[in-house]
């Protein structure tokens, strides 16, 4: 079953759950709407990878917003975003741990021959296809900077 089909099925289940599935329903509808908007704009149906990109982007947007809400001391909104992220994460591939990301970064640094922070672009070009959708870009960026600054 494709990711779009899975989202549709889960939306139906959330609708049947009535009150218990309201947040889940709204989050799934939001993601499906984002997918549909991209399909309309590009005038073609998205492949599985495109759908994954949109789900990843939705999670990233929520994480970024959560940081801002924490700074503003809005715990109610932080809690809501955490629940939304928890709903979206099962649609993404298994996320890499920090140790796994560090291993991939080290491997990419060695393969690219990078030695200074100026070589970060070379490392990221090799690394991003390996971690796309499986790790937070900010985490990857920080680890690459850390290893290149040593």
Q: Which of 64-78, 91-105, 131-145 has the highest mean pLDDT?
A: 64-78
**Confidence (pLDDT) at 17:** 86
Are the C-beta atoms of 93 and 52 separated by less than 8 Å? yes
Residues 80-136 pLDDT 10s: 999 999 999 999 888 888 888 889 888 888 888 878 888 888 888 888 888 887 888
Phi, psi for residue 116 in degrees, rounded to 5 = -125, 165
CATH of domain 98-148: 1.10.10.410
Looking at CATH, the fold of the domain delimited by 3-91 is given as Hypothetical Protein Yqey; Chain: A; domain1 (1.10.1510)
CA atoms 90, 94, 98, 104: torsion sign: negative
Indicate the domain borders of the chain.
3-91, 98-148
């Amino acid at each position: 079953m494709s990711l779009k089909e899975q989202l549709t099925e889960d939306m139906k289940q959330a609708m049947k759950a009535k009150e218990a599935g309201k947040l889940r329903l709204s989050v799934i509808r939001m993601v499906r709407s984002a997918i549909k908007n991209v399909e309309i704009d590009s005038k073609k149906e998205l492949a599985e990878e495109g759908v994954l990109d949109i789900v990843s982007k939705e999670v990233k947007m929520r994480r970024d917003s959560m940081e801002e809400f924490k700074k503003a001391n809005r715990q109610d909104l932080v809690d809501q975003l955490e629940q939304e992220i928890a709903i979206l994460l099962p649609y993404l591939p298994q996320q890499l741990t920090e140790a796994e990301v560090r291993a991939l970064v080290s491997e990419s640094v060695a393969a690219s021959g990078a030695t200074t922070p100026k070589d970060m672009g070379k490392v990221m070009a090799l690394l991003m296809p390996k971690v796309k959708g499986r790790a937070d870009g900010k985490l990857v960026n920080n680890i690459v900077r850390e290893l290149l600054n040593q």
